A and B are shown apart, each in its own frame.
Chain A
Amino acid sequence: MSDVNISKLKGIVGDAYVIDSPSEMAKYLKGQGKPAVVVLPASTSEVSSIVKLANEKNVKLGVGGAVVDTQGITGGIAMVMSRMNRILEMDHLNLVAVVEPGLLHKDFILKVAEAGLNFPPEPYVIETSSVGGCFAIGDSDSKSFEYGPTRTFLLGFEMVLPTGEILEIGNKCIKNVSGLDFIHFAVGSQGTFGIFTKLLVKLLPVPEAKKAVIGTFASMHKANATFNTLIKRNVHPTRMNLINASLAKIAKPGTEGQLVIIDLQGFKESGKNIANEVASVLTLGGGSDVKIIEEGAEYDQVINGWLKVRAELNAKPSEIVEFVVGPMKMPQALSQLEAQTGDLGAYPGIIVEGLLGYVCLALPEGTDKLALARKVNKLAMSLGGNVKGLLGHKLKAEVYNDAEMWKQTTSLLSELRQQFDPKGILNPGVSLEA
């Protein structure tokens, strides 16, 4: 028996937006949990009422843009934000937008582009990612070297706290140090501090020009060596990415070998020279089919190919290991990695974001993820990096043999979480223990 009060939920959002038949619920859910109900609120006050209702009976609540992760919310409520999908304001003078969290990230990018502006963060999973999710995950991506990570683009928000209270913070100023920086601290908190109901987003002017240079390489290592050459030559493109042979076919059908994508945004007059320089570095480095792409549709195709690969990897977090090293240390990282994994070209998947020194490795079926992550972390640490995120911290503490530090970190994290969500209601599936 679940404690969810379906009729009260219907009273809040209307009958049509409370779904409790398992077959109809399925399209809103992912994962193994079995929530009792899916609810689709249309406004902040509805979100707040739902959260308050959940509080009365201590019902667990999971939140998602288009799809909710059901982990930890069996018998509870899955809240889907997709009806809250309006752009409330597009302010050209201040280069900001006010947007609701349920708007799909890809649709937001389109609308922003139509307005002649730019929202740089890449969609995490193209088809389902929402703007709310973008900031709840708060990642960096292959454009972050130039534009900064996702958090850079949040100036404020409205949020329903785990107690149902509504919190508003931030303003249209691009510089603001008033109070503690809860604005940026909330980015990446995965819905544990609260549910975003409005986002005040910073935008940029559209880059004056866009070009890409692509090339294919028989060897992963040779491809990667060209990145070091570019960095040494003081060339810092917008993206400098590498996709191994098995994934390259998804990014650009027909590709044989490893695909290198160099993206150049901005660089209005200089773009031609830089593109030529990049093209010669790729060619001299052993690349074939090296091509400078200037035409808009073809450029978009290349970038969308990249996003598609990225989305496939992001969709399976339990089947990937992600790590970072100093960008110039990447050649060593890949050689040492290969010693552990065997031929990287043949691996199910590996991508490199060269400017960030980031690697995402898709694991063959049956791999012991933790064991591999442990090895990879050691390797990465010797090259100025670590496995990404919370898991990386745990493994780092292991290497330092510093259980105390790990304990301190997790107890601080859980104290923070508890301060905001004393009953542990919101997104209980999110673990802060790695």
Chain B
Amino acid sequence: MLSQAVVKRLKEIVGEKNVVTDKVGLLTYGYDGTLLSGEALGVVSPTTTEQVVEIVKLMNEQDIKLVPRGAGTNESGGTIPSEKSVVISFTKMTKIHEIDTENFVAVVEPGVINFDLQVELAKKNFYFPPDPSSFKASTIGGNLGECSGGPKCFKYGVTRDYMLGLEVVLPNGKVIQTGGRNFQSEPGYDLTRIIVGSEGILGLVTKVFVRILPIPRAKKTMLALYDKVEDASQTVADIVAAGIIPTTLELMDNLLINTTEDFTHAGLPRDAGAVLIIEVDGYPEDMDGQVKTIGEIASKIAKEFKVAQTAVEVDQIWTSRRSAFGSVARVRPSYGVNDITVPRSNFPKAIGGVLKVAKDFGVTIGVVAHAGDGNLHPLILFDQRNKEETETVHAAEQALCMMALDLEGTISGEHGIGLVKKKYLDKEFTPAAMEAFRKIKRSFDPSNRFNPGKIIDL
């Protein structure tokens, strides 16, 4: 419980309505995209950088930790209040300060929802390439906290690649700027890059300079259907070998085809073993050649290949993909999202590995994957109310992580470490690397005030 005096001070800083301390109110902030939960002492929603500074100073005085939070959709336990802490929610810092298309920059507050920024940009025929499937809900601050990916990474990279500069409130309550409005502004060390993906453990981001791009002139969306997942991964390898860089190579297996069909009725054949969504973009003149090459490659193995002819068809394809996570809820009440990544050449082996884990542990696993990136999201379906089953699921999740590491991959391609994967981190990293993380954390936050317990312990 926060003392009356502290609550009063918080209310003075951010206003009465921006402080939550009642049980029911706190409950909602105890959850995120995972099945974990915790309870915060309070929730405070600042609207300006100055307020953030005041909050940090007050919390330092009171020796209370801060847990930064955007929309809370992360899949890592990254916003679970795990110690004596107050949640600092950025959902009221939603201003788009500036969209400067001529100079390829937008300046936004961290609470801006990715989708809302896309809508504003689209009016000017621009876009912000990082678009995690959660983009209708997730915030720019959260995207940068996790260094989120999405379906376009193969060509366009991840959130890291679109962050030009940040305004950051440090754990000592001081404000710094990293980077600027262009590539060439980092002060000696690339501070922007170390903040991106740091899951709120190094600093609170209060302003973001993002790189924006013109919407490509043309785009083609294709769909290939396969008997087996392995066949789809062969197409992926062949496309890359042909020197083509598609924006998107998204894969769903039979289970996901069926669950998304239940939901969207997009017309995917329910007996297909896998579907691959392929998208290319660029100049109109370059589209036909690429579509032709991809068609030839895919048709060697695919049982069906088609090119979306209308915007409606494109939409339909994407609706299936975007509803993938949610759609499985009809099968079992709970699902655990995994996020392993392997070198592309090991993708077929990773698919085999997932099947083996499903069999070994007797669990149901569906696979969605950003196949071009070697990034798989095995979804384990279960019932959280069944304690025994839940434990089996955790064991299976661990097995998936170990399988990825055996295949020279990583335990997280885009969702982050947070609390969920912290226990496996030293399986991926050597003691020297783990110590490097601690050195960095210590430099920013020697007293472990921001998002304690996430990623590493000091």
Q: Which of A16-61 contact B (CB under 8 A)?
A: none
Give A339 to B342 CA distance when docked, in angstroms: 55
Give A408 to B176 CA distance when docked, in angstroms: 7
The reply to whether the CB of B17 lies closer than 8 angstroms to some CB of chain A is: no
Give A182 to B177 CA distance when docked, in angstroms: 20
Q: Is the CB of B443 within 8 A of A419?
A: yes
Beyond the given A181-B197, A385-B182, please list 18 additional residue pairs across the A-B interface where CB-CB is below 8 A: A92-B241, A94-B345, A168-B430, A173-B409, A174-B153, A176-B341, A177-B149, A177-B410, A181-B147, A205-B243, A231-B102, A234-B217, A267-B283, A324-B180, A324-B183, A389-B185, A408-B176, A412-B176
A269 smallest CB distance to B (angstroms): 4
List the A side residues contacting B244 at CB < 8 Å. Answer: 205
The count of residues in chain A whose C-beta lies closer than 8 Å to any C-beta of chain B is 81
Q: Is the CB of A181 within 8 A of B183?
A: no
B13 smallest CB distance to A (angstroms): 20
A94-B343, A176-B341 known; A357+B182 contact, CB < 8 A: yes
Q: Which of B150-208 contact A (CB under 8 A)?
A: 153-154, 157-158, 160-161, 170, 174-177, 180-191, 193-194, 196-198, 202
B141 smallest CB distance to A (angstroms): 16
Interface residues, chain A, with chain B CB atoms under 8 Å away: 91-96, 138-140, 144, 148-149, 151-152, 161, 165-169, 171-182, 184-185, 187-189, 204-206, 208, 231, 234, 236, 266-270, 273-274, 322, 324, 326-329, 356-358, 384-386, 388-390, 392-393, 396, 404-405, 408-409, 412-413, 415-416, 419-420, 432, 434
Chain B residue at smallest Cβ distance from A329: B103
Q: Is the CB of A267 within 8 A of B187?
A: no
* Complex A-B: 6 CB contacts under 8 Å: A168-B430, A176-B341, A177-B416, A185-B193, A393-B185, A413-B188
Give A166 to B410 CA distance when docked, in angstroms: 20
List the A side residues contacting B421 at CB < 8 Å. Answer: 178
The reply to whether the CB of B412 lies closer than 8 angstroms to some CB of chain A is: yes
Give A327 to B282 CA distance when docked, in angstroms: 22
Scoring A189, A269, A386 by chain B CB atoms within 10 A of each residue's CB, the highest score goes to A269
Give A301 to B206 CA distance when docked, in angstroms: 47
Chain B residue at smallest Cβ distance from A165: B432
Q: Is the CB of A184 within 8 A of B193?
A: yes
A92-B241, A93-B345, A180-B194 known; A405+B184 contact, CB < 8 A: no
List the A side residues contacting B283 at CB < 8 Å. Answer: 267, 269-270, 274
B195 smallest CB distance to A (angstroms): 9
Give A7 to B180 CA distance when docked, in angstroms: 49
Give A408 to B104 CA distance when docked, in angstroms: 29
Task: Name the contact of B189 in the complex, choosing from A189, A268, A270, A274 (C-beta under 8 A).
Answer: A189
The reply to whether the CB of B414 lies closer than 8 angstroms to some CB of chain A is: yes
List the A side residues contacting B321 at CB < 8 Å. Answer: none
Give A267 to B282 CA distance when docked, in angstroms: 8
Give A175 to B187 CA distance when docked, in angstroms: 26
Task: Name the contact of B198 in the complex, choosing from A93, A95, A181, A385 (C-beta under 8 A).
Answer: A181
A181-B194, A184-B160, A384-B105 known; A392+B443 contact, CB < 8 A: no
Q: Is the CB of A177 within 8 A of B176?
A: no
Scoring A172, A187, A205 by chain B CB atoms within 10 A of each residue's CB, the highest score goes to A172
List the B side residues contacting A236 at CB < 8 Å. Answer: 214
Give A148 to B443 CA distance when docked, in angstroms: 28
The reply to whether the CB of B324 lies closer than 8 angstroms to some CB of chain A is: no
B344 smallest CB distance to A (angstroms): 5
List the A side residues contacting B429 at CB < 8 Å. Answer: 169, 178-179
The count of residues in chain B whose C-beta lies closer than 8 Å to any C-beta of chain A is 89
Give A150 to B102 CA distance when docked, in angstroms: 24
Chain B residue at smallest Cβ distance from A141: B183
Give A369 to B399 CA distance when docked, in angstroms: 59
The reply to whether the CB of B415 lies closer than 8 angstroms to some CB of chain A is: yes
Q: What 0/1 pattern do residues 414 to 426 of B give for CB contact below 8 A with A?
A: 1111000100010
Scoring B180, B189, B417 by chain A CB atoms within 10 A of each residue's CB, the highest score goes to B189
Task: Name the contact of A149 in the complex, choosing from B105, B147, B183 (C-beta under 8 A).
Answer: B183
Give A91 to B344 CA distance when docked, in angstroms: 11
Give A322 to B182 CA distance when docked, in angstroms: 13
Task: Name the contact of B441 in the complex, choosing from A152, A180, A328 (C-beta under 8 A).
Answer: A180
Scoring B146, B184, B342, B373 by chain A CB atoms within 10 A of each residue's CB, the highest score goes to B184
Q: Is the CB of A175 within 8 A of B443?
A: no
A89 smallest CB distance to B (angstroms): 12
Q: Is the CB of A384 within 8 A of B198?
A: no
B79 smallest CB distance to A (angstroms): 16
List the A side residues contacting B115 at CB < 8 Å. Answer: none
List the B side residues contacting A326 at CB < 8 Å. Answer: 100, 102-103, 105, 181-182
B363 smallest CB distance to A (angstroms): 24
Q: Is the CB of A93 within 8 A of B344?
A: yes
Q: Is the CB of B194 within 8 A of A152?
A: no
9 A-B pairs closest in CB distance: A326-B103, A270-B283, A205-B243, A172-B343, A328-B102, A270-B285, A419-B439, A93-B345, A393-B187
List the B side residues contacting A388 at CB < 8 Å. Answer: 184-185
Q: Is the CB of A173 within 8 A of B184?
A: no
List the B side residues contacting A356 at CB < 8 Å. Answer: 182-184
The reply to whether the CB of B329 lies closer than 8 angstroms to some CB of chain A is: no
Q: Is the CB of A415 within 8 A of B375?
A: no
Task: Name the contact of B161 in the complex, choosing from A139, A148, A322, A413 (C-beta under 8 A).
Answer: A148
Q: Is the CB of A184 within 8 A of B440?
A: no
B205 smallest CB distance to A (angstroms): 15
Q: What 0/1 pattern do residues 14 to 55 of B give for CB contact below 8 A with A?
A: 000000000000000000000000000000000000000000
Give A204 to B180 CA distance when docked, in angstroms: 28
Chain A residue at smallest Cβ distance from B429: A179
Give A148 to B409 CA distance when docked, in angstroms: 24
List the A side residues contacting B100 at CB < 8 Å. Answer: 326, 384
Q: What 0/1 pattern do residues 340 to 380 of B give for CB contact below 8 A with A?
A: 01111100000000000000000000000010011100000
Chain A residue at smallest Cβ distance from B437: A180
A94-B344, A180-B437 known; A188+B181 contact, CB < 8 A: no
A175-B153, A234-B217 known; A205+B443 contact, CB < 8 A: no
The reply to whether the CB of B245 lies closer than 8 angstroms to some CB of chain A is: yes
The reply to whether the CB of B331 lies closer than 8 angstroms to some CB of chain A is: no
A138-B190, A327-B102, A384-B103 known; A176+B410 contact, CB < 8 A: yes
Task: Name the contact of B414 in the complex, choosing from A149, A166, A177, A189 (C-beta under 8 A).
Answer: A177
Task: Name the contact of A385 in the complex, choosing from B180, B193, B415 (C-beta under 8 A).
Answer: B180
The reply to whether the CB of B286 lies closer than 8 angstroms to some CB of chain A is: yes
List the B side residues contacting A166 at CB < 8 Å. Answer: 432
List the B side residues contacting A415 at CB < 8 Å. Answer: 443
A93-B237, A94-B344, A148-B157 known; A182+B181 contact, CB < 8 A: no
Give A386 to B184 CA distance when docked, in angstroms: 9
Task: Name the contact of A175 in the complex, choosing from B105, B414, B437, B441 (C-beta under 8 A).
Answer: B414
Q: Is the CB of B183 within 8 A of A412?
A: no
Q: Is the CB of B161 within 8 A of A324?
A: no
Chain B residue at smallest Cβ distance from A206: B243
Task: Name the contact of A420 in the complex, choosing from B105, B245, B439, B444 (C-beta under 8 A).
Answer: B439
